[in-house]
């Protein structure tokens, strides 16, 4: 008798494909630049010094922008990765309520 794959394996593979394609999309030059422009405009009139991909965690991709007027602070933009979490809207709502 052939072993059957558990039901969740197919969904997990699809989830991984969605996550990988979305991360690839974030590193498209035009989109990467648009993210940087968004952060720079949001923190205007501060001059930015550096913009980079910070890290990709279990559920988020993060971008960090540092500014010329300070050595210690910057702006961090976290984007939830689609396909990783079953209920991303609820996750963000709970996360925001804890952070506030």
Confidence band of 77 (pLDDT split at 50, 70, 90): confident
pLDDT band of residue 99 (cuts 50, 70, 90) is low
Q: How many of the other CB atoms lie within 10 Å of CB of 43?
A: 14
Is residue 33 predicted with pLDDT exceeding 70?
A: yes
The mean per-residue pLDDT over the stretch 11-38 comes to 84
Give me the residue label for tokens 């035009």. Answer: 30
Asked if the model's pLDDT at residue 30 lies above 60, the reply is yes
pLDDT over 70 at 2, yes or no = no
| Distance of alpha carbon 51 from alpha carbon 65, whole angstroms | 4
Q: Residue 84 — very low, low, confident or very high, per pLDDT cuts 50/70/90? A: low
Task: Grade residue 1 by pLDDT with cuts at 50, 70 and 90.
Answer: low
Q: Rounded to 5 degrees, what are φ and ψ at 50?
A: -150, 140
Q: How far apart are CA 74 and CA 20, in angstroms?
A: 27
């Amino acid at each position: 008798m052939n072993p059957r794959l558990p039901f969740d394996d197919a969904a997990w593979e699809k989830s991984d494909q969605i996550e990988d394609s979305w991360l690839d999309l974030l590193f498209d030059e035009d989109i990467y630049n648009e993210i940087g422009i968004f952060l720079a405009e949001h923190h205007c009139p501060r001059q930015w010094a550096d913009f980079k991909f910070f890290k990709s965690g279990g559920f988020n991709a993060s971008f960090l922008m540092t500014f010329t007027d300070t050595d210690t602070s910057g702006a961090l933009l976290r984007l939830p990765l689609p396909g990783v979490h079953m209920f991303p809207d609820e996750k963000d709502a709970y996360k925001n309520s804890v952070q506030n």
